[in-house]
Amino acid sequence: MSEEIHSAQPKLKFIPPHFNPWVHYFSYLSLPVLLRLRTRNWLPTGIAKVGGSNLEVLAGLYHKFQMGKVRFLMAFHHPEVDDPLSMAYLLSRQMPKIAHQQGISLQNPIHTHFLYDRGMMLWAGNWLGCLFSNLGGVPIRRGKRIDLECLRTARDLFVNGKFPIAIAPEGATNGHSGIVSPLESGVAQLGFWCVEDLVKANRDETVMILPMAIKYSYPEQPWDKLNSLLGKLEANSGLSIQNIEVFVTKNREEIYYQRILRLAEHLLSQIEDFYRRFYHQDLPKKFTSKESTNHEEILDFRLQRLRETALQVAEKYFGLEAQGSLEKRCRHIEEAAWNYIYREDFPSTEHLNALPSLQRGLADWVAKEANLKIRHMRLVETFVAATTKYVREKASFERFAEISLLMFDLLARIREGKIPGRPRLGWRKAHITIGEPISVTERWSNYQSSRKGAKQAVKDLTQDLQLALEKLSIDI
């Protein structure tokens, strides 16, 4: 959110997609600039090149789609907010070249419908919702048990849309190119609904889900800028600054790894003390030999314990049960907070303004309180997938940069309640790897066999998609 919430707001309205070819055309022209521009919040942070692997698979699916032979959904690993623009550049600039090499013809525009988080408008502004609508996007309330308007719209677009549909089945970014968070089952369910609707309409298109993974790298590896960023984080967190000479190359990765561990441990200690003192949480400072004697394992344990503590503080306030993965619990807390702030019982600002002063004051009080409580969840959201093992197993500049930028986000959220523009560490390269298409149509017989069979088919498809994305993200 771009501003602190000081008052209750009217209900969040659904923004229907309305593809406008002119808006798409001008967006297409601006892509090279947007990829390189460094501004605040949602815009990307200096992507100099977008490349890919197995792009002929994607080109072939687009050709079959435009020939009326398949309907397909692109399920992509979503590590960063920059992913949609990287994908848009790949589709608009490289797909025509790949198609030409394959001897196939693709009709312009080569585009997708897509799902996006309704919450993006809350911190970026309503203009972004207007833009996404004109690009064919569909907003989703991620924490809502059933977002009927989104599901109906996405289901119709999957079957009848002019373009394929793109969805991040993880539901949110996790900041790590090499870690795939647990997937939501919605993508698999949409796939089976698409088959069902095609069968009812006596249409014979094959339904496919295409896994895609995105990885970012720094070709020039600017260690000096990483050193500077870590110095600022150390200073802001109250640590002495450990400057590393630029020319140091011997044991450089180990030096940076230990520096990051030191900073992470200090941040953990500070936030643990915060929850002990002001939220009366039981967070023991000493660890028994049964828990671990390994320093890194203890650090991971403390991080997991802190995530659990922060979520429990928020869940207790909103009266929620701790159910599901960390990611799902974050979404449940977000939805609960929105229900306190964006009131379903007040359809418009006029309804709010018509309230007696006492009722309006109470509504504003609840909204401000909810806006504060959701910040506990935002802390967890920042480090939802972080582990020392991920950084240690491949001690690379890229992984050091990922975790350092997440620590920057953490400090910004604590100080300001929002994420300002991230510092640029250097020009990046985005690499998109296309996996093998998964046929939903071939699984239809299992899905339609019974209610139990349908649940199992959705579960199996979600698991297979998870494994496919993890395989693509191991080391692309």
CATH number of the domain residue 454 falls in: 3.40.1130.10
Which runs of consecutive H residues, i.e. helices, occur in 280-396?
A: 295-318, 326-341, 349-353, 357-382, 388-393
Please identify, among 416, 436, 461, the residue that sits at the C-terminal boundary of a domain. 416
252 and 187 in one domain?
A: no
Tokens standing for residue 77: 């690993």
Section 354-370 average pLDDT:
95
What letter would DSSP give residue 247?
Answer: T
**420: which 2 tokens?**
């300002």
Q: Amino acid identity of 349?
A: T
* Residue 303 φ/ψ, nearest 5 degrees: -65, -45
Q: What is the mean pLDDT of residues 287-316?
A: 86
Report the SS3 class of residue 140.
strand
Question: pLDDT tens-digit profile of 65-84?
Answer: 999 999 999 999 999 888 99
Q: Are residues 44 and 153 in the same domain?
A: yes
pLDDT in the model for residue 421: 75
Q: What is the pLDDT of residue 462?
A: 97
User: What pLDDT shows up at residue 33?
Assistant: 83
Would the pLDDT of 43 be above 50?
Answer: no
Could you tell me whether strands 206-217 and 428-434 are parallel, antiparallel, or unpaired per DSSP bridges?
antiparallel
Q: Is there a single domain that holds both residue 192 and residue 241? A: no
Query: Minimum mean pLDDT among 144-148, 218-222, 301-305, 328-332: which range?
Result: 144-148
Residue 346 located in a structural domain: yes
Residue 147: closest CA among 334, 324, 404: 334
The mean pLDDT value for 351-355 works out to: 91
How confident is the prediction for the chain on average, in pLDDT?
Answer: 91
When mean pLDDT is compared over 79-93, 115-129, 183-197, the highest value belongs to: 183-197
Over the stretch 160-174, which tens digit does the pLDDT of each residue have? 999 999 999 998 899
* Same domain, yes or no: 243 and 308: yes
Give the pLDDT score at 424. Answer: 86
Residues 158, 195 contacting (CB under 8 angstroms): no
Q: Residue 52: give the domain boundaries.
A: 9-219+428-473
pLDDT-based confidence at 329, cuts 50/70/90?
very high
* This prediction's pTM: 0.91
Last residue of a domain, one of 371, 394, 416: 416
1 occurs within a structural domain: no
Residues 180, 242 share a domain: no
One domain, residues 230 and 209: no
Nearest to 386 by CA among 368, 369, 372, 399: 399
Would 442 be classed as within a structural domain?
yes
Does the residue 35 lie in any domain?
yes
Q: Assess whether 184 and 277 both reside in one domain.
A: no
Count how many domains the chain has: 2
Q: Tell me the average pLDDT across 165-189.
A: 93
The verdict on 467 and 368 lying in the same domain is no
> Closest by alpha carbon to 169, among 194, 193, 191?
191
The answer to whether position 423 is within a domain reads no
Q: 198-206 — which CB contacts under 8 Å span 24+ positions?
A: 198/71, 198/159, 199/444, 201/159, 205/68, 205/69, 205/70, 205/71, 206/69, 206/70, 206/71, 206/439, 206/441
- Residue 263 lies inside a defined structural domain of this protein: yes
User: What is 167-229 written as a DSSP string?
Assistant: E-TTSS--S-TT-PPPPPSHHHHHHHHHHHHHHHTT--PEEEEEEEEEEEE-TT--HHHHHHH
Same domain, 324 and 458: no
What are the structure tokens assigned to 289, written together? 């030999």
In a domain, 3, yes or no: no
CA distance 430 to 217: 7
Radius of gyration of the chain (CA): 23
Q: Is the pLDDT of residue 2 over 70?
A: no
Q: Which residue has the higher pLDDT, 370 or 295?
A: 370
Same domain, 22 and 99: yes
* Nearest CA among 351, 287, 239, 237 for reference residue 8: 351
The pLDDT value given to residue 126? 87
Residue 246 has pLDDT above 70, yes or no: no
Spatial CB neighbours of 476, under 8 Å, sequence gap ≥ 6: 53, 177, 213, 215, 431, 433
Give a yes or no: residue 130 inside a domain. Answer: yes
pLDDT (tens digit, 9 = 90+) per residue, 420-441? 678 889 899 999 999 999 999 9
Cβ atoms within 10 Å of 120's Cβ, excluding its own:
17
Give me the DSSP letters along 314-341: HHHHHT----S-HHHHHHHHHHHHHHHH
The domain boundary, picked from 416, 441, 460, lies at 416
Same domain, residue pair 392 and 447: no
In this structure, of 50-59, 117-126, 198-207, 444-453, the range with the lowest mean pLDDT score is: 117-126
Residues 310 and 200 in one domain: no
